[in-house]
Amino acid sequence: MTVDEPISKPLSYNDFKTLFTPALSKLDAQRVCNPFYLIKGLPKDLKPAENSVYLAGGMPFETMFPFKKVSVKYRTSPGKLGSLEQNDASDDELYGEYSIPLYSDPSVADKEMDIARGFQYSDNIGLPTLISYAKKLVNRINKPIYDNWDVIITSGSSDSLSKCCDLFVDEDTTVLCEEFTFVNICGHVNYANGSCLPLKLQVTMDEELQGLDTDYMEDLLENWEKYFPDKKKKLVLYSIATGQNPTGVTQSLSKRKKIYEICCKHNVIILEDDPYGYLQLPKFDAANPLKNPYNEAEMSVESFCKDILKPSYMTIDTEGRVLRLETFSKVGSPGLRLSFIAGNKFLIERLANISFMTTRNASGISQSLINNLLYEFGTKYQKQINPNADIIDGWLNWCMKIAGEYTNRRNVLFKAIHESEAFKKGMFELLEPSCGMFASVVVNMKPEWINAKEKSERDLQIKRVMDYLLCCLLETGCMPVLGYKMTIHREFSMERANFLRITFAKTESTEMFELGAKNMSTAFERLFDEYMTVNEKWSLSPAGLVGM
């Protein structure tokens, strides 16, 4: 999985500092923290007592916490659609138990977290054991090609994005984004006073082509001064390179190399947001819709890591310009609010400085809960499957099972949609995601719906059709997200925004997926029957729904 490219000389912390200090936001340059409890400049001949009585920090002693012990009953496999469990095995097979004790046994204290440490004030960058697991995870799947990298634990990926934007973005910064994306990024960028700019996205089934349009990107950056004579060329790329949200496309390795090369040339920082990377989806087989390669015997943690997962930009990052954002939200729980950022030591140190001056560390409860789960999964895997396995393999085994369950969910929804009337009649196409939890439903517009000569008018026509479709969907009983609501710049993308984003994440049963597909089909039939006829039920304005 990792790509071994020789680098001429190892990059040091100071190299990173020199390279990336100019990329920091103006405000970040003035952020200095000087904790009041730090002691500096002590005489060299001073011999501090070994067991000093600590009367400094306002930390409640651990017997003042109301919590004595936390025990967790955990799943060995995710629940199956429509059932709380994956199968009808015994409780012992389905579940395990681990705990967060008041004090860990010293023999495991470097791996297991306890209440005395995890529920106390702790380091801004995260609990040492969890940082260690996060590093192992990066090393195992996406080994960076330089050595001086580090990891910081954050309070979820929104927090990661917020901190990355605080680090790089000010009024002179432009953040380049896939034209359709997780648009909350714009909120983070605006918060830091910068602006976003869309890059064209190739949404195609061609695995080499899909993802950012590199020709478009290259032209834009080569001719920046021509296109934007008044805009500084201080750039950050925000990209969901694997299982892109909302389109589900994944950049091929050759495309990543091309994009990386462009970013080096034009000094673009890369924020690689990868919330869905573990949720790899094998090809859907319409002839055998419930086929799930994850259930087959040859699938193993080894093959999952080696053949299935896609390599991060960190594996080709010769200059240290990539920050990789991972999260425990999708394969753990969103409520953990736990993510991590990997990148070169200088940038991670700057992010730690931001943590100190804003949120401090992520919840120690969340960190302890996931840390001890990683440890429990790991030791169990070593006991039951492979005594030589890395401690992180138990977690990867869980990730693989989750990917298998998402594949199952994708299959069930896709089967139902393929069997629906509207699909058979060609009213829409279903774009298959390579990864993640979303699929796109592309409306096959009738030419007369979008017949205006002017692009701006045609844009409104497209919006009005999509809004009418939304109304139909809401009445028949199906709740999607409108593609045009996920654009960085609506005008730029409206012609390609004739789609819905649907997810197979949240629905609870096969029956509900079937009902959803049926309702969606009914809504499409209504659209095709009613739209631009005397039967239009709602008198939408020429621009569709107001305020959308």
Site for its own copies in 498-537 (CB under 8 A): 501-508, 512-513, 515-516, 519-520, 537
Answer yes or no: are the C-beta atoms of 16 and 345 closer than 8 Å: yes
Residues β-bridged to residue 431:
440
* Cα four-point dihedral sign 241, 244, 245, 246: positive
Q: Which is nearer to its own copies, 378 or 516 (CB)?
A: 516
Q: Which is nearer to its own copies, 267 or 379 (CB)?
A: 379
Answer left, alpha or beta for residue 305, where phi above 0 means left and psi between -120 and 50 means alpha.
Answer: alpha
x-or-dash string of contact with its own copies, 117-136, rule CB under 8 A = -xxxxx--------------
The Cα 159–Cα 141 span in angstroms is 23
Among the residue ranges 115-123, 264-272, 284-292, 297-305, the one whose residues contact its own copies (CB under 8 A): 115-123
Q: What is the largest CA-CA distance in the chain?
A: 93
Q: Which is nearer to its own copies, 188 or 256 (CB)?
A: 188
- Give the tokens for residue 497: 């925004």
Among the residue ranges 144-152, 213-221, 381-389, 468-476, the one whose residues contact its own copies (CB under 8 A): 468-476
438 binds its own copies (CB under 8 A): yes
Q: What is the CA radius of gyration of the chain?
A: 25
Answer yes or no: are the C-beta atoms of 201 and 249 closer than 8 Å: yes
- Of 139, 300, 318, 363, the one binding its own copies (CB under 8 A) is 363
Which residues have a Cβ under 8 Å from the Cβ of 140 and sit 6 or more positions away?
305, 390, 392, 393, 396
Q: Which element (helix H / strand E) includes 325?
A: strand 322-327
In this structure, the number of other CB atoms found within 10 A of the CB of residue 224 comes to 16
Among the residue ranges 60-68, 254-262, 287-295, 443-451, the one whose residues contact its own copies (CB under 8 A): 60-68
Q: How far is CA 1 from its chain centroid?
A: 19
Q: Which is nearer to its own copies, 219 or 525 (CB)?
A: 525
Task: Tell me phi and psi for residue 542, to 5 degrees.
Answer: -60, -20
- Of 159, 178, 326, 390, the one binding its own copies (CB under 8 A) is 159
Applying CB under 8 A, the site for its own copies has a residue count of 133
x-or-dash string of contact with its own copies, 396-435, rule CB under 8 A = --x---x--x------------------------------
Considering only residues 206-265, where is the footprint of its own copies by CB under 8 A? 245
x-or-dash string of contact with its own copies, 282-311, rule CB under 8 A = ------------------------------
- Of 4, 10, 22, 37, the one binding its own copies (CB under 8 A) is 37
Q: How far is CA 82 from its chain centroid?
A: 26
Nearest distance in Å: CB 467, its own copies: 8
- Of 9, 42, 88, 447, the one binding its own copies (CB under 8 A) is 42
Q: Which is nearer to its own copies, 122 or 280 (CB)?
A: 122
Considering only residues 83-102, where is the footprint of its own copies by CB under 8 A? 83-85, 95, 102
* CA-to-CA dists, residue 376 to 75, 92, 111, 150, 477, angstroms: 11, 15, 10, 24, 42
Q: Which is nearer to its own copies, 221 or 271 (CB)?
A: 271
Q: Which is nearer to its own copies, 61 or 453 (CB)?
A: 61
63 binds its own copies (CB under 8 A): yes
Q: Cis peptide before 246, with omega less than 30 degrees from 0? A: yes
